[in-house]
Amino acid sequence: MKKGNISVQTENIFPIIKQFLYSDQEIFLRELVSNAVDATSKIKTLASRGELKSELGDLTIDVVVDKEAKTLTIKDRGIGMDEEEVKKYLNQVAFSSAQEFLEKYEKDSGIIGHFGLGFYSAFMVANRVEVVTRSYKEDTVGVKWACEGDPNYTIEDATREERGTDIILHVSDDAKEYLEDNRIEELLMKYCKFLPVPIRFGTKEETIYEGEGDDKEAKTITKDNIINNSEPAWKKLPANLTDEDYRNFYKELYPYSQPPMFWIHLNIDYPFNLTGVLFFPKLGNNFEVQKNKIQLYSNQVYVTDDVKDIVPEFLTLLHGVIDSPDIPLNVSRSYLQADHNVKKITGYITKKVAEKLNDLFSKQREDYEAKWKDLSVFVKYGMISDEKFYEKATKFALLTNTEDKHFTIEEYKEHIKATQTDKHDKIIGLYTTDAAEHYSYIESAKAKGYDVLQFDNIIDNHFMQSLEHKGGDMTFVRVDSDTVDNLVQKDEKLESVLTEDQQKKVEEIFKAQIQDVTASVSMKALSPEDQPVVITRPEFMRRMKEMQNLQGGMGMGAFPDSYNVVVNTNHPLICEKLIKMKKAEKKAEFTEYLYNLARLNQNMLKGADLSKFIQTSINFIK
């Protein structure tokens, strides 16, 4: 037996490994299994180049828990090591055999590791680590290396019949969870689910049925528990995949989700390497819970599902996989490091997504419109948050009116500019946030020949402002806004039936009756078919209030909930009935009733006021 000291740059690297190097203890299993995959990839490379004299044989990697012996073992049938290589690679921390191999066989190796420290992550959970290995080279013997978490190690000959490496972790008392089968299987499924070499974790029982009809019998068979899919969809050519293949892969990634609407297969090898599949899920109106569903891999090794540094914020609404060996990770692969490649990757993914959406819109518009309800959050969010995406998306972003007709932004401007242009030549887009609540306003707008959009999404407030700011020639006002009546009526200028003196008297009656300090009263000559009294709101103040509520107040004082009471001086109930009443008491009672009708129409009548209004209505009927 030979003894020695591990060559490190600091007196004792193990406390550093345990406490600082890795952000999450559980990733030790990812590192060790990845190393086993590396060793297997190396032997496959040598075999493909004719440098392996023996048969490749079964390359399955085994992960074995021995609860009684308190050990966790990772076994591979890869390239193995001789004594000199053990000394070189295990005794010199951060000298990576993967790096050396890459330099020699760069084009066809597919090696995962780049850092040479992955092996030492074992000491986060083990108080003793043994490595039993044998090189693929002829005339070599097995070697056993052992270390107890300090710079001292032992090395000796070992009996091993086949090439490959066993890494045996003697699990420490404070890491007993890693001796539980369920915990190990959970970690293997998380980090190793798509590794390119089969990973076996014991066996599992499966029920099969033999025979037919009454003779059908259930039979239990035992089979290998292979954890991973070593050939995931994103590593295959799109031409070799059917729609069903993509849907099955989505189900594999997200077992309990609805099927996706469609997907994008990413495949690029210049100026960086990147593959992946991004799925468009059915978002509806609830997009926050959908985030962190894109999984980042590096050569099929799971890294993270926090990809905000790789893809723009709006793309985090997508689901799927991105795999790139060129994404710069820190030594523990826990987070991204700043790099110009990341910006290139971000730009590439944004471009591919925009191209896919534009292609669908151009070639399958009817299908695209049918999916728009789910797509709209994603597209609008992208236009708000990403300048380059905004420029591309103006071609395929849709506006939907209350009749469920869809228009591109330019199509809609053409559709309404003849009737919905104000005196400043601004195109006015009317909209509703709740078609049922604004029913009477919508009908009134339609009667005037106006069109009304549906903006009932959580981010539509931001989206409107983005279109106003970047478009320039269009603005939006809600259908109950006081701005609606400023639209130019080219063919008709309504005059009030009431004289100026009569209008002043009506205004005084209403002002005396309305005690709300946030309400203003105005007289307006509207159509006799319009409501006698209409409540409108200042668009700017209402929008600012909504924005404040959406952002949790932002530390500012509350915006006033102001509104305008518009009295229609051409309605018969005003110009014929109210104006002719003799008794002040009757005028006040009637005025209050008309005002409350308008409040009821805006869902402003609540509690005692609503009860009183109902009783007054009953009395009127009597």
277 DSSP β-pair partners: 265, 321
pLDDT at 329: 60
Residue 442 tokens read as 């919508």
Give the number of other CB atoms < 10 A from CB of residue 367: 13
Percent of the chain with pLDDT over 70: 84
Sorting pLDDT into bands at 50, 70 and 90, what band is 524?
Answer: confident
Of 93, 193, 111, 94, the residue nearest 147 (C-alpha): 93
pLDDT band at 15 (very low <50, low <70, confident <90, very high): low
Tens digits of residue pLDDT in 422-471:
877 889 999 999 998 889 889 988 988 899 999 988 789 889 989 998 87
Place of tokens 């191209």: 355
Alpha-carbon separation of residue 517 from 466, 548, 569, 599 (angstroms): 33, 22, 23, 15
195-230 tens-digit pLDDT: 999 999 999 988 888 777 777 788 888 999 999 999
The per-residue pLDDT for 260 is 92
Q: Which amino acid is at 273?
A: N
User: In what helix (H) or strand (E) does residue 391 lie, and over which residues does it extend?
Assistant: helix 387-393
Q: Between 482 and 239, where is the model more confident?
A: 239
Percent of the residues in the chain that have a pLDDT greater than 90, as a whole number: 42
> What pTM did the predictor assign?
0.77
| Nearest alpha carbon to residue 246 among 223, 290, 279 | 279
State how far the Cα of 251 lies from the Cα of 258, in Å rounded to an integer. 9
Bigger pLDDT: 602 vs 547: 602
Top-confidence range, 174-178, 587-591, 605-609 = 174-178
What's the mean pLDDT in 475-496? 69
What is the structure's pLDDT at 535?
86
Distance CA 487, CA 473 (A): 15
**pLDDT tens per residue, range 181-190:** 999 999 999 9
DSSP SS3 for 66: strand
Would you state the pLDDT for residue 200? 97
Q: Highest mean pLDDT range out of 119-133, 273-287, 289-303?
A: 119-133
Q: Which of 99, 62, 93, 98 is nearest to 77 (CA)?
A: 62
Alpha carbons within 13 A on the beta-carbon side of 92: 9
Return d(Cα 479, Cα 533) in angstroms, integer.
15
Distance of CA 56 to the CA centre of its chain: 42
pLDDT of residue 117: 63
**pLDDT-based confidence at residue 129 (cuts at 50, 70, 90):** very high
Structural domains in the chain, sorted by start: 2-201 (3.30.565.10), 233-349 (3.30.230.80), 397-486 (3.40.50.11260), 500-535+561-621 (1.20.120.790)
pLDDT of 199 reads: 97
Give me the pLDDT at residue 77, please: 96
More confident residue, 260 or 494: 260
DSSP notation for 97-147:
HHHHHHHHSTTT------SS-GGGGGGGTEEEEEEEEE-SSTT--EEEEEE
Given pLDDT bands bounded at 50, 70 and 90, which one contains residue 288? low
Mean pLDDT of the residues in the chain = 84
Identify the pLDDT of residue 429.
93
CB within 8 Å of 321: residues ≥ 6 apart: 194, 232, 234, 253, 276, 277, 278, 294, 295, 296, 297
